[in-house]
Amino acid sequence: MAKTPVLTPRSDDFPRWYQDLVNKAELADNGPVRGTMVIRPYGYGLWERMQAEMDVRIKETGAQNAYFPLLIPQSYLTREADHVEGFAPELAVVTHGGGKELEEPAVVRPTSEMIINDYFSKWVQSYRDLPLLINQWANVVRWELRPRLFLRTTEFLWQEGHTAHATYEDARDFAAHIHRDVYEDFMANVLAMDVVPGRKTVKERFAGAVNTLTLEGMMGDGKALQMATSHELGQNFAKAFNTSYLSKDGTQELVWQTSWGSTTRMIGALVMMHGDDNGLRVPPRLAQIQAVVLAIKGDEAVLAKVREIGDRLKSAGIRVHVDDRTDTPFGRRAVDWELKGVPVRIEVGPRDLENGTAMLARRIPGGKEPVAIESLVQLLPTVLEADQALLLTQSRARRESCTTDVTTIEEAVEVAATGWARMPWAKLGPEGESALGEHGVTVRCLVSEDGSVPDSDDAPGTLAVLARAY
């Protein structure tokens, strides 16, 4: 089948390719209020599967879901000084409600630290109430001047976790637990994404945190995207809200806290890490549709066969969709499923029926070949797992080949035009970090030489990962 290019090639204009893909694969549209977005069913299906996979992992840590109000009294925001300074420029403010001007304006939550801490201070009384582990799936609003779908939007969807612990060590370990066993595990094993775990420098920390752990992914243009963060908040919020508990020894102690979040940004990362010039490639474990069975033409025998194949694959536990809309040309439908990145297409026409075969098209490695229809139920789980593994391998190989060790700021800036640079933090330091900033390059994270997360910024052998970033 001859193809006309449906997307701007990545090498021509990466941002336009991204925009094209998001629109044509029907992931999202721009909303009418600047910077907002409409997440279309196919895009939202990716988010639903992300939520399901993350939610299981979050609950395994012992955290429970809850829901806190969207609207926060404006005065709350001022309680933690660094925090308010970080968010003030991005706030949406409700001044009128129920036809009247409000006595105190309310802000639409940009994050829920403030309101959740208000309740933590009421709920935590005794050491028996600790640890308190809460997660929330919600929408937040941060006014965005340079919006881009999924990557920077005025409203986005996310999960935000908030926890309170009896000791510094408990809080530190929990933040690391989320970072590793929820986020990194999910990204590697479901999103098939190679991500680099590390800690943020003081400059790049979350407003109000004493330490921020991050996972950084390399996009198709060599830029970095922050995939999720997990923060140690120390006692900053505990002091601001007087969140304290009666210890076993009978003393009153402030709690130690964490917060952690991941957002619909991950959909943008999925596009930019796994997408190619023909569209998205969805990892099979994430895909809401793992296999689509297409009727090439609308005769009865073909339609009966694709439905039968669909039923059998569904019974075998494969997430399958039957495309029997033969009033739309086959070629257009095939291109559309390719754009949407469904891992496997099974194409059935009249001639295939005679042979008892179907064409098996694999989106991730590419290519197609005839296979016996009878073998599909056995074959597909193996194919899907192989393709899942391949995506991860490809993303790792790209990141490794596009990361260069450097020794000077000039080299770092040059490397960061197309990939990532790595440089000893002891050599770069906060001054070098500032100098890089003038060239639009930031320290994405600090890592140890063996790939582990350093315990402190000045741990021996700490490397800074340097890149331009979304």
DSSP 109: P
Torsion angle of C-alpha atoms 445, 450, 452, 458, degrees rounded to 10:
-60
Q: Which of 11, 78, 125, 139 binds its own copies (CB under 8 A)?
A: 139
End-to-end alpha-carbon separation of the chain, Å?
Answer: 36
Closest to its own copies by CB, 253 or 414: 253
Q: Which residue has the tokens 């007087």?
A: 242
CB of 143 to its own copies, least distance (A): 3
The phi and psi torsions of 333 (rounded to 5 degrees) equal -65, -40
Q: How far is CA 261 from CA 133, 175, 275, 447, in A?
A: 14, 11, 24, 20
Q: Which of 9, 41, 317, 329 binds its own copies (CB under 8 A)?
A: 41
User: Count residues contacting its own copies (CB under 8 A)?
Assistant: 57
Question: Does the footprint of its own copies cover residue 89 (CB under 8 A)?
Answer: yes
d(CA 116, CA 80): 13
The verdict on 72 binding its own copies (CB under 8 A) reads yes
Shortest spacing between CB 153 and its own copies, in angstroms: 9
Q: Applying CB under 8 A, does 38 fall inside the site for its own copies?
A: yes
Q: Which of 200, 199, 198, 202 is nearest to 430 (CA)?
A: 202
Site for its own copies in 407-466 (CB under 8 A): none
397 scored as a contact of its own copies (CB under 8 A): no
Considering the complex, what minimum distance in angstroms separates the CB of residue 422 from its own copies? 36
What distance in Å separates the CA atoms of residue 423 and residue 411, rounded to the nearest whole number?
A: 10
CB 25 → its own copies: shortest distance, Å? 14
Among 392, 47, 382, 26, smallest CA distance to 191 is for: 392
Range in contact with its own copies (rule: CB under 8 A) among 5-13, 71-79, 329-337, 372-380: 71-79
* Interacting residue with its own copies among 14, 23, 90, 411 (CB under 8 A): 90
Cβ-count burial 111-129 (b if 16+ within 10 Å, e if not): bbbbbbbbbbbeebeeeee
Of residues 147 through 176, those in contact with its own copies by CB under 8 A are: 154-155, 157
Cβ density class 437-451: b for 16+ within 10 Å, e for less: eeeebbbbbbbbeee
C-beta separation of 342 from 362 below 8 A: no
Residue whose C-alpha is closest to residue 388's, from 468, 283, 281, 310: 283
Under DSSP, the state recorded for 152 is B
Q: Is 124 in the site for its own copies (CB under 8 A)?
A: no
Q: From residue 369, how far is each of 311, 347, 362, 365, 377 by CA, in Å?
A: 22, 10, 9, 12, 16
From 30-38, 377-385, 434-442, 453-461, span contacting its own copies (CB under 8 A):
30-38
Please, which residue, 288 or 357, has the CB nearer to its own copies?
288
Considering only the stretches 25-33, 388-396, 417-425, 452-460, report the one whose residues sit in contact with its own copies under the rule CB under 8 A: 25-33
| Residue in the structure block whose two tokens are 């339609």 | 303
Query: Which residue, 101 or 369, has its beta carbon nearer to its own copies?
Result: 101
Region near its own copies per CB under 8 A, out of 84-92, 191-199, 295-303, 459-467:
84-92
Stretch touching its own copies by CB under 8 A, among 188-196, 321-329, 349-357, 454-462: 321-329
Find the part of the chain contacting its own copies (CB under 8 A) among 32-40, 357-365, 414-422, 462-470: 32-40
Rounded to whole angstroms, the Cα distance separating 283 from 86 reads: 35
* From candidates 56, 81, 145, 417, binder to its own copies by CB under 8 A: 145
Rounded Cα–Cα distance for residues 15 and 148 (Å): 9
**C-alpha to C-alpha distance for 153 and 168, rounded to whole angstroms:** 34
Which of 2, 98, 367, 401 binds its own copies (CB under 8 A)? It is 98
Would you give the binding string for its own copies spanning residues 323-362, x where CB under 8 A is met?
Answer: --x-xx----------------------------------
Name the burial class of residue 299, with classes exposed (0-12), middle (13-18) and buried (19+) by CB atoms within 10 angstroms of its CB: middle
Minimum distance between the CB of residue 108 and its own copies, rounded to whole angstroms?
Answer: 7
Q: Is 115 in the site for its own copies (CB under 8 A)?
A: yes
Q: Which is nearer to its own copies, 115 or 428 (CB)?
A: 115
Q: How many CB atoms lie within 10 A of CB 238?
A: 22
Minimum gap (Å) between residue 94 Cβ and its own copies: 5
Contact region with its own copies (CB under 8 A), list: 72-80, 175-183, 366-374, 420-428: 72-80
The amino acid sitting at 228 is: A
Task: In angstroms, give the least distance from the CB of 378 to its own copies.
Answer: 28
Stretch that binds its own copies, among 143-151, 235-243, 252-260, 428-436 (CB under 8 A): 143-151
Binding of its own copies by 295 (CB under 8 A): no
Residues that bind its own copies (CB under 8 A): 29, 31-33, 36-41, 44-45, 47-48, 64-73, 76, 88-99, 106, 108, 115, 118-119, 122, 128, 134, 138-139, 141, 143-145, 154-155, 157, 325, 327-328
